[in-house]
Amino acid sequence: MRSAFERVQFDDRSDGAGTSGNDLLGNRDRTHNSCLGAIRSAGDIPASARAKECGEMWFDRYVIVGKLGEGAFSEVFLAADTFIRRMGKKHDRTRLVTIKRMNTRDGLIGMSDYHIISQLNSLDPRSKVPITESMDEFNSPGSSMATMREVPGEHVCLVMEPLLGASLHEAFPQKIREIYTINDEVVAKRVHMGLIQTIGRQMLVAVAHLHNNSLIHADIKSSNVICADDSSLQVKLIDFGNAVGDRDVAEYYSTFEIQTVWFRAPEVAYQQPFGKAIDLWSIACILCELWLGRSLFTDSNNRGLIRSMWKLRGPPPARIYSASPVYRSLVELWSVGPAVGFATPISPGQQHGQSAGGSKSSLSWDSQVRRQWLKYSLRVDDDDFVSLVDSLLEYDPEARLTASEALEHPFFLGTFPS
């Protein structure tokens, strides 16, 4: 027997779904993990993923094909949409969709995610911006709700486009291994850099769209960038459950519990006021990960992250961070003066840096030294790439490139072999 679902009155994105003038962010005191990176084609779903929901029809429309994964806040299913309206007519064809079913206690996170994506989609009517597309929202089986609000014991379900590729974190290393297998090292490095250029441009276009509409993603990481399918590196940015309006960031100033640690900007780590620039630091971390084949920072807590930042970028400018209690306590702990760093950049081939408790450095970290040390640390020869990353890994958020400025950087004007 089919489950009866009361339909929430949202249709296709072209009908203006979720574009009301109300607060589109909802509850912002949360964290959110997405399972969309687990999506594969229906034929690739193993028997173990054939959950009890398989074969059910939800909302009198979506037939569940398989369960794709689950996270702390949701389960993700692949479904066939049996109702397609085009030119005002119903067709018998089906299409695949993704349904994210939120846990009963996390409905507000899902509704915020849906509202933000719908708003961003409505501002991109030709779907040129690489951001996942929302399609529908409904409540769990047995619900009689016709409005988007959280009810105890019920699940909010989000219907999204099917992104059938892996996350960038999973897909890119495999692609690069293939490139280095079939090409000599010189050609492979150029192709490798060309792929980074292609993906970097897509990420920056997505972030520019957010920032132009006064939103901060606040959780950009390689697992939140998903390939459209398994055969290409056309990517889309997902997971807007942590997104915050740029005028609402003060709500985080009591805890600073925002951004995944590996991709966290220094102003967040030092618990200082932050804004859109935190997203650009995260993108720089992804670009470095794509080149290195590993995460740029791998620390599990703020103190370790700050230590790693000092080793790579030198100490932060005292004029910006001296007001931070975190900065002052760590400077005192590490016995390092605020104007110098404990990691001294020296010539390639020599041991770099000193321990966290080491003596004061005798070399000042000016902009040229920072860039040279970054180039050596990344083991990269492309000066435009180093320049771009250096400008995004800028301690001063006011001096950090914006997404629009980064898109005009010379790195994106060069050509690489495909």
- Per the listing, tokens 């495999």 go with 174
Segment 346-366 mean pLDDT:
45
Beta carbons within 10 angstroms of residue 114's beta carbon: 30
Say if residue 330 is in the same domain as residue 362. yes
pTM value is 0.78
Domain that holds residue 202: 168-412
Q: Say whether pLDDT at 119 is over 90.
A: yes
Q: Which of 11, 13, 30, 130 is nearest to 74 (CA)?
A: 30
Q: Which of 160, 179, 206 is the last residue of a domain?
A: 160
Q: Which of 160, 188, 208 is the last residue of a domain?
A: 160
Per DSSP, the three-state class of 339 is coil
Q: What is the pLDDT of residue 153?
A: 58
Say if residue 118 is in the same domain as residue 242. no
Say if residue 89 is in the same domain as residue 57. yes
Q: Is residue 384 part of a domain?
A: yes
266, 310 in Cβ contact below 8 A? no
Q: Is residue 4 part of a domain?
A: no
Handedness of CA 273, 275, 277, 282 (dihedral sign): positive
- pLDDT bucket at 90, cuts 50 / 70 / 90: low
Say if residue 66 is in the same domain as residue 186. no
Q: What is the pLDDT of residue 415?
A: 74
Say if residue 144 is in the same domain as residue 258. no
Q: Is residue 8 part of a domain?
A: no
Encode pLDDT of 8-38 as tens digits.
222 232 333 322 333 333 333 333 333 333 3
Residues found in the chain = 418
Count of structural domains, the chain? 2
Say if residue 216 is in the same domain as residue 297. yes
| Domain CATH code at residue 59 | 3.30.200.20
Say if residue 140 is in the same domain as residue 261. no
- Which stretches of 27-160 are DSSP H helices? 107-122
Say if residue 177 is in the same domain as residue 47. no
Beta carbons within 10 angstroms of residue 178's beta carbon: 11
Q: Which DSSP string do the residues of 362-396 spell out, in sequence order?
A: SS---HHHHHHHHHHHHT---HHHHHHHHHHS-SS
- pLDDT bucket at 40, cuts 50 / 70 / 90: very low
Q: Which of 108, 131, 160 is the last residue of a domain?
A: 160
Q: What is the pLDDT of residue 394?
A: 97
- Regarding beta strands 134-139 and 225-227, do their DSSP bridges make them parallel or antiparallel, or are they unpaired? unpaired
Q: Is residue 48 part of a domain?
A: yes
- The tally of CA atoms less than 13 A away on the side-chain side of residue 151 is 16
Q: What are phi and psi of 48, to 5 degrees?
A: -65, -20
Encode pLDDT of 278-294 as tens digits.
999 999 999 999 999 99
Say if residue 190 is in the same domain as residue 318. yes
Encode pLDDT of 150-167 as tens digits.
444 578 899 999 888 888
Contacts of 259 (CB under 8 A, 6+ apart): 218, 219, 242, 265, 268, 278, 282
Encode pLDDT of 202-219 as tens digits.
999 999 999 999 999 999
Q: What is the pLDDT of residue 406?
A: 98
